[in-house]
Structure 1
Amino acid sequence: MSFDEKLKAFPSVREHYDAMAAAGEVDPDQAQLALADRFDRLIEELGEKRLSKKSSALGWLFGRKTANREPVKGLYVYGEVGRGKTMLMDMFHALVPVKRKRRAHFNDFMADVHERIHAHRQAFKRGETKQEDPIPPVADALAEAAWVLCFDEFTVTDITDAMILSRLFSALFVRGVVLVATSNVKPDNLYRDGLNRQLFLPFIDLLRWHVDVVNLDSRTDYRLEKLNRQPVYVTPLGDTAQRQMDIAWEIVKDGVEERSDVLTIKGHEVPIPRAAGNAARFSFADLCSRPLGASDYMAIVRRYQTIFIDDVPALDYSRRNEAKRFILLIDTLYDHHARLVISAEAAPEKLYSAPSGTEAFEFDRTTSRLFEMQSAEYLKAAEEGDPRAASDGAVTGV
């Protein structure tokens, strides 16, 4: 039975979820069941709001007054990756009885907003409009196109986005737009440590006023369960290693559309060549052959909690600058509870060789951490958010 056929057969999120559980497609989870029920309540509230607008002229007038006093609050669902947030939101989006609705990845939505703002400013320069401020007409167009906005992967890493959001969403909420979003972080941690974050804080207050915040504290990351059955340190390099990395990447993507991304960090850009949800994939050259530093690696791991690194070469003294960056990179991933999937030319203890130099001494720590980051204890603790609880020396084979 296709997704659309299931929706027709089971007209609520809860019924659809129960049917998937009965078919063995998901394991029943109390947190997911509670969220399914919450989505169904929101569907009812939106349905009542829609009907009030369609009633008689007098009834519509009174309905509008009631709606203005008590606007429908959306949902902001946050939790660790792989807990089922997107799956349940997609059920909600398909079932909500609203024609003007939109489901988008948040980055795609913001790219659309920037394009609309740019187009309006160009029109103003050409004298085609007397409205200099682009936010009101952009908000008008967005609200006209969609009354219910559903965003996947709501995150803020770009200062330009941060400065726009408060004014834009103030305008959208005034126009009656209802927001539903999934995120890996709670609202208070959006744009955390970002440049001029104090200017962004009013948006967090605005967001909390217009949405109910729900933590999906599901017990299992289903994607990571599958990933745990795959090797996370693959050596030697070659076709077999490439296939293993690709299989693990497909598991982590779990059907999420792959895209490129760009992080702006202290005035310069760090490209993310491949990203899907909370995971990013790089080559060794992407991360260690370019002049990146600690702040760059920290920004990457704050945005992406699962990091793939392809084609790590065996290093020696002639490549000590790349070795220094690799040491710093692994330290950062380890300290920030990240999961690492890596393909390398050699085992950890043979990745760096030099007769002298501080890098040789420091790489001993990197070797130890590369072993530990493969351990069942580390992977379990990383899933729970504290890999440093992993026991020292408890490792699996390469």
Structure 2
Amino acid sequence: MASVQDEYEARVAAGQIKRDPVQVACLPELERIRAEVHKPQKSGLFRKAPPPPKGLYLWGGVGRGKSMLMDLFVDTLEVPARRVHFHAFMQEMHAGMHAERKKGTEDVIKPVAKKVSDAVKVLAFDEMQITDITDAMIVGRLFEQVMAAGCVIVTTSNRVPDDLYKNGLNRELFLPAIALIKDRMVVQEMASDTDHRQNRMVGAQTYFTPNGPEARTEMERVWQELTGGKSEELVLTVQGRQLALPQYWNGVARATFYDLCGRALGPADYLKLAETVRVLMIEAVPLLSRSNFNEAKRFVTLIDALYEAKVRVILSAADTPEMLYVEGPGSFEFDRTASRLQEMQSEGWGG
């Protein structure tokens, strides 16, 4: 089986990725885990299973290649493993705990954690962040039980562990989880000035008009470029509601105008979306007028949230930004949105 380093070099040679010394510096830790989880386990009635190797907490700014390294690492594994976005995983955990409560289970985390550890030997989380108090309250115990059962956790994050759930409600209750991460996982920073995701967008067109087959083809091309065509659904919970993004991968989300603005969503939904994704592809924005005034208002709110969070926006629309909303109530106020849309297409936009 190929080592993590061998797989990285093969992809460099194939032109799939560009060598980056900061990425190369992370390969030994990933290889350490790969080698350890593939060691044969000694069997015997009185032989105790060895403790799992330390996991890895890989953190750094967006576009540094953390998710790419995660995917590469998982591709080298020949043991049961699961690669999943952290938000999606926590949604599953909450659903599982809810089902256990309905059955009258006293400690609802135990059976949920056991189900996870029985299924996989390696859990690979992408984009770990804690923004919800309910996640903060359970993640420490969940990690502890999964690790105790022999499962190794590898995760990426934009934040150093000490900054997780920073300024959150009752944050002191989350501090043991931070201590667990620092004790049971190697914390490695990807400190680089190179933003590979932004580099792929330098000089690229990010606004396609008019709507039609050509725009759809171009949006699909950009999606393939940014994600390699990989996709999973991402479901965000906001104030008890669920906001589902049909296509998501490595910080890049793709949805239609009506997915985002055709439903009764509000500022809280868009703020949660803006803090979760780094690139948002919005397809088929129509002409806006009094006939779709509510959808237009939501679109304005969405763009404001994305603008403030410095999210990169790629979209297809019926017309240029300044011609999208030329008549009807709200058309005058839309001038600011049009201006922001123009600015958001400029080179170097985004965090």
TM class by shorter-chain length?
Answer: 0.7 to 0.9
- 2:237 pairs with 1:264: yes
Distance 1:277 1:17 in 2: 18
For 1:238, give the aligned amino acid.
G
2:213 to 239, 249, 252: 239
Residue pair 1:224, 1:252 contacting (<8 A) in 2 also:
no
Q: Which residue of 2 aligns with 1:312?
A: 285
> Structure 1: any 5+ residue segments left out of the alignment?
1-7, 126-130, 386-398
Structure 1 residues 119, 337: closer, same or farther in 2, change over 3 A? closer
For residues 273 and 147 of structure 1, the distance between their equivalents in structure 2, rounded to whole angstroms, comes to 28
Alpha-carbon separation, structure 2, partners of 1:262 and 1:215: 28
Cα 1:332–1:89 change in 2 (3 A) is closer
Q: Secondary structure at the match of 1:24?
A: coil
| Pair 1:345-2:318 in alignment | yes
2:274 equivalent in structure 1: 301
Distance 1:195 1:210 in 2: 25
Aligned counterparts of 2:296 and 2:71: Cα–Cα separation in 1: 44
The answer to which structure, 1 or 2, has the higher relative contact order (CA under 8 A, 6+ apart) is 2
Decide which of 327, 336, 342 is 1:371's aligned counterpart: 342
Distance 1:304 1:168, change over 3 A: same
What CA distance in whole angstroms lies between the structure 2 residues aligned with 1:112 and 1:328?
29
**CA–CA distance in structure 2, aligned partners of residues 195 and 265 of structure 1:** 16
CA distance in 2, matches of 1:193, 1:280: 27
1:244 to partner: Cα distance: 1.7
Greater radius of gyration (CA):
1
In the alignment, what sits opposite 1:172?
A: 146
- Is the contact between residue 271 and residue 305 of structure 2 (CA under 8 Å) also seen in structure 1? yes
Q: Is residue 2:21 matched to residue 1:26?
A: no
| Unaligned runs of at least 5 residues, structure 2 | none
Q: Distance in 1 between matches of 2:16 and 2:183?
A: 36
Deviation, 1:338, is 0.8
Task: Find the counterpart in structure 1 of residue 304 from structure 2.
Answer: 331
Which residue pairs with 1:209 in the alignment? 183
Q: How far is the alpha carbon of 1:278 from its aligned partner?
A: 1.0
2:110 aligned with 1:136, yes or no?
A: yes
* Residue 82 of structure 2, aligned match among 99, 103, 107: 103
The whole-number CA distance in structure 2 between the counterparts of 1:42 and 1:194 is 32
Give how far 1:315 is off: 2.3
- Assess, with a 3 A threshold, how the Cα gap between structure 1 residues 273 and 192 changes in structure 2: closer, same or farther: farther
SS, match of residue 16 in structure 2: coil
How big is the shift at 1:136? 2.8
Q: Is the contact made by 1:39 and 1:92 (CA closer than 8 Å) also made in structure 2?
A: yes
* Counterpart Cα distance in 1 of 2:279 and 2:235: 17
2:61–2:158 Cα contact (<8 Å) kept:
yes
* Secondary structure class of the residue paired with 1:368: helix
Aligned pair partner of 1:54 in 18, 42, 51: 42
Structure-2 separation of matches of 1:225 and 1:23? 19
| TM-score scaled by length of structure 1 | 0.74
Structure 1 residue 276 and structure 2 residue 267: aligned? Answer: no
Residues 201 and 273 of structure 1, relative CA distance in 2, 3 Å threshold:
farther
Change (3 A) 1:134 1:318: closer
For 1:27, give the aligned amino acid.
Answer: K
Contact residue 88 and residue 235 of structure 2 kept, 8 A? no
Which residue of the other structure, out of 269, 272, 292, is the alignment partner of 2:265?
Answer: 292
Contact (CA 8 Å) 2:282, 2:314: kept in 1 or not? yes
Give me the identity figure in percent. Answer: 42
Residue 345 of structure 1 deviates from its aligned partner by: 1.5
Specify whether residues 275 and 178 from structure 1 end up closer, same or farther in structure 2 by C-alpha distance, changes over 3 A only: closer
2:270 and 2:302 in contact (8 A); partners too: yes
Structure with higher helix content = 1
Does the Cα contact within 8 Å between 1:308 and 1:341 map onto a contact in 2?
yes
- Contact 1:314 / 1:346 at 8 angstroms: preserved in 2? yes
Distance 2:310 2:243 in 1: 21
Q: How do 1:191-206 residues align onto structure 2 when only pairs under 5 Å count? A: 191=165, 199-206=173-180
Q: Give, as a single letter, the amino acid of the residue that structure 2 aligns with 1:269.
A: Q
Distance 1:134 1:343, change over 3 A: same
* Alpha-carbon shift at residue 76 of structure 1 (Å): 1.0
